[in-house]
Structure 1
Amino acid sequence: MNKEICIIWDWNGTLIDDVHTSLECINIILKKHQLATINRENYQQIFTFPVEQYYRKLGFDFTKISFAKLADEFIHEYKKRMLDAKLYPNVKDVLEHLQQMGVKQFVISAMEIGKLKLCIENKGISHYFEDILGLNNNYANGKMSLVKEFARQRKDLLYSSNIWMIGDTEHDFYIASELKWNSILVSQGHHSYSRLSAVGNIVLRNLNDIKKIFSNII
């Protein structure tokens, strides 16, 4: 008998197209602090977790302004725009198809949990997920510990499952690798195709092939 399939989705840049939103917000902060702005290509090459490292790459000097203050400035701008970001094409179709196939789906994100749930509810897709997990702060310092705690709490389910992590950054790949899970990387988000191809063995341009991949597995 085949193992049950569990998919752990990332949110930002994987299901929701918020790259433009994030880029717009960080450029507002860069201008405010008289630093050079960046374009989408630059952004996809330097964005990383923990986000504090990304801010250093942008040129911020934490001896002059704290990372916490910068993170608060970013979130202030992001909150004003976050509900304007759209789901990527075919997201609802893919989630519905997987649910009909009996796949258990979760969201685990480095986004603050309150904002994460608000965004997902706003898009009308909460019912597709067994659980939605996010951080308890706005500092986006990665989700490794969050995923490990999830794995510990749901070990009975995960032990008997074929687990897949789907995300748009190297961070998603490294988490899946450490936990010995399968991974699929999607390059329409916060990291470029070339960057993801250097680490992942399944890298998609978009979500269009997800249904086919899991139809073949199941």
Structure 2
Amino acid sequence: MKHIIWDWNGTLFHDIDAVVEATNEVFKPYGLAAFDADAFRAAYTRPIWVAYERILGRPLDDGEWVRLDAVFHDHYHRLMLSCALAEDALTALRSWTDAGRTQSLLSMWTHDRLVAKAAELGIADYFDRIDGLNDGAPGGGKAEHMVAHIAALRVDPSQILVIGDSIDDAHAAEHVGARAVLYTGGMTSRADLDASGFPVVESLTTALEWAS
């Protein structure tokens, strides 16, 4: 493998606590019991609105997804200020660059916020390219964004490893002909990751071993 495409939320950026707390704020008016991380992971899927329908036990009403997503991000953008990189994220980024190979960052988080946060955390220079969401509905799938990201990189997909915490990351990699490794530190339960059939790792540095 010559290139790694990293996911952000739940992978390089350890924000599961902020995501769970923001989700609890979303559903507080519905009278639902608060989630802990394990309960949230049991409900989590992408697109996110399907997870919300699981939580509510019914289809979302017209316009309800937009309102709930806005509430989530209002709380998330406050709560994520106390979040940091995953424990071994910096070690993984450095070791891959030191090996003379390239990497990039692809996220479904807002592009401007993603670029600013990567710069704030001092890791922006590790990436050949950083792409977040510029348009389209938040919370959706990643496959078409992966197509555009790889086209901009001009790297053969067969030489790319995607590292993410969501099965959607792996499906996006599969969609373009890249390989994928899934990380247990994010939003998806270990049981769901194992059931996906993709390689599963408990650290980002271990994930790099799949690139060789």
Give the structure-2-normalised TM-score: 0.91
Q: Answer with 96-105 or 80-89: which moved more.
A: 80-89
Provide the identity percentage: 26
Does 1:195 pair with 2:200? no
Instruction: Decide whether the 8 Å contact of 2:143 with 2:175 is kept in 1.
Output: no
Gap regions ≥5 residues in structure 1: none
Tell me if structure 2 keeps the 8 A contact 1:193–1:205: no
8 Å Cα contact 1:83/1:122 also seen in 2: no
Match of 1:146 in 2: 145
The CA RMSD over aligned residues, in Å, is 1.9
**1:16 and 2:32 are equivalent in the alignment:** no
CA deviation vs aligned residue, 1:8-36 (integer Å, no higher than 9, x gap): 00001111110010000110121123233
SS in 2 for 1:209: helix
Counterpart in 2 of 1:118? 116
Q: Do the aligned residues in 2 keep the contact of 1:135 with 1:143 (CA within 8 Å)? A: no
User: How far apart in 2 are the matches of 1:6 and 1:64?
Assistant: 41
Equivalent residues in 2 for 1:88-127, closer than 5 Å:
88-127=86-125
Which segments of 5 or more consecutive residues in structure 2 lack a partner in the other structure?
Answer: none
Number of aligned residue pairs: 210
SS at 2:70's partner residue?
helix
Q: What amino acid is the match of 2:134?
A: N
Q: CA–CA distance in 2 between the matches of 1:147 and 1:127? A: 21
Q: Distance in 2 between matches of 1:153 and 1:26?
A: 34
Which of structure 1's runs of 4+ aligned residues deviate more than 4 A?
Answer: 211-214
Code of the residue aligned with 1:107 in structure 2: it is L
Partner of residue 48, structure 1: 45
Name the aligned partner's letter for residue 94 of structure 1.
Answer: A
Q: Which moved more, 1:129-138 or 1:164-173?
A: 129-138
* Residue deviations 1:60-98 (CA, integer Å, cap 9, x gap): 753276110111111111111223211111211110110
Cα distance in structure 2, aligned partners of 1:144 and 1:212: 24
What letter matches 2:143 in structure 1?
M
- Equivalent AA in structure 2 for residue 143 of structure 1: K
TM-score, normalised to structure 1, is 0.88
> 1:96-118: per-residue Cα shift (whole Å, max 9, x none)?
11001112101111111112112
Q: Distance in 2 between matches of 1:167 and 1:115?
A: 19
CA deviation profile, 1:159-190 (whole Å, cap 9, x unmatched): 6x611000011101111122221111111111
8 A contact 2:183–2:207 mirrored in 1: no
* Equivalent residues of 2:15, 2:83 under 8 A apart: yes
